[in-house]
Structure 1
């Protein structure tokens, strides 16, 4: 009798588990509307996080990389007498771009 109750309890719980996992999700068919409404709802939070966290981190990484590259270029100039400006100019351009990016990126997106 006790074994029969365990089997019935296991079958009922398995049936309930299967029913819980097989709930159908109905889509309205308007995926573009859903994405647009989600973006308009979360836009302020995304803008705040990107402007206050992501861009400053990128700026610091590029600034450190620029100073390291300038130092290495100076040491290379002292050793070989040749100065390579291209990597320094590229990193400086990327730093200027990332510093000014929050001013105009949200009007593009």
Structure 2
């Protein structure tokens, strides 16, 4: 019984020591780090641009369009109930939708 407990304690100590030692290992970079990042960006840029333009922005556009129509419907129901129209949320969502629709035209010249 005592031997099994000692083995478990040794295994727990060894595991804790390994996990504690992991963050202290030093990674040496040969050369310029900025150059490595720049070359990686230049290599992957076309793929990143393609994915963002063809996947990310259309998904955001659909989400914002659905949200806009839901908000317009809620605004109409609120108008029927209270007789007031609150334009601010609809205008903000519409502005965000226009931004995401036109972003692929100019965002890559900024980045």
Which TM-score bucket, shorter chain as reference? 0.7 to 0.9
CA distance, structure 2, for counterparts of residue 97 and residue 50 of structure 1:
15
Deviation at 1:26, TM superposition (A): 4.3
Determine which structure has more spread, i.e. the larger CA radius of gyration.
1
Instruction: Compute the TM-score of the two structures, normalised by the length of structure 1.
Output: 0.76
RMSD: 1.2
Give ranges in structure 1 of 5+ residues lacking alignment. Answer: 1-23
Aligned position for 2:69: 67
Which of structure 1's runs of 4+ aligned residues deviate more than 6 A? none
Check if 1:101 corresponds to 2:100: no
TM-score by length of 2: 0.75
Picking from 55, 59, 66, the partner of 1:57 is: 59
Q: Structure 2: 5+ residue runs without aligned partners? A: 1-25
Map Cα deviations across residues 5-46 of structure 1 (whole Å, 9 max, x no partner).
Answer: xxxxxxxxxxxxxxxxxxx96421300000000000000000
Aligned equivalent of 1:83, options 60, 82, 85: 85
Deviation string 1:56-84 (CA, Å, 9 cap, x unpaired) is: 00000000000000000000000000100
* 1:39 alignment partner, one of 38, 41, 46: 41
The number of residue pairs the alignment matches comes to 86
